[in-house]
């Protein structure tokens, strides 16, 4: 009957990523026999994918736009105005992007 945040920490030697339907964070990817077979691969590759996008492009807001942090209330919190960014090539040679 007391708050103990340490109980949510994974013990050493245990798998903190549970793809078999017991962790509700991964519920959109299915559970049990119907789970997405490529989800563990995606989990490992998403950091490299995001890093390559951030490394290869300069990201700016469209001209005349300001970053709006207001939210619209609903079942989940969404941005009132969606964030739109424009990527610009960072490298002059297009063959470096392949």
Structural domain harbouring 78: 14-97
- DSSP label at residue 12: T
d(CA 6, CA 2): 12
In a domain, 8, yes or no: no
In a domain, 68, yes or no: yes
In a domain, 6, yes or no: no
In a domain, 59, yes or no: yes
Dihedral angle sign, alpha carbons of residues 38, 59, 54, 72: negative
In a domain, 5, yes or no: no
Q: Which of 29, 27, 26, 49 lies closest to 37 in space, CA to CA? A: 29
Render each residue's pLDDT in the chain as its tens digit; 98 residues: 777 766 655 554 455 656 555 666 656 666 666 767 777 788 888 889 899 888 889 999 999 888 888 888 777 778 888 888 999 888 888 787 76
In a domain, 4, yes or no: no
In a domain, 75, yes or no: yes
In a domain, 89, yes or no: yes
What's the pLDDT at 11?
A: 54
Domain count, the chain: 1
Cα R_g (the chain), whole angstroms: 20
Q: pTM, whole model, 2 decimals?
A: 0.50
């Amino acid at each position: 009957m007391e708050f103990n945040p340490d109980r949510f920490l994974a013990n050493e030697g245990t798998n903190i990523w549970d793809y078999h339907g017991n962790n509700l964070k991964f519920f959109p990817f299915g559970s049990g026999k119907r789970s997405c077979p490529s989800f563990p691969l995606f989990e490992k590759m998403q950091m490299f994918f995001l890093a390559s996008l951030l490394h290869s492009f300069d990201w700016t807001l469209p001209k005349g736009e300001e970053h709006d942090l207001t939210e619209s209330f609903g079942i989940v919190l969404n941005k009132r105005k969606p964030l739109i960014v424009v990527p610009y090539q960072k490298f002059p040679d297009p063959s470096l992007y392949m």
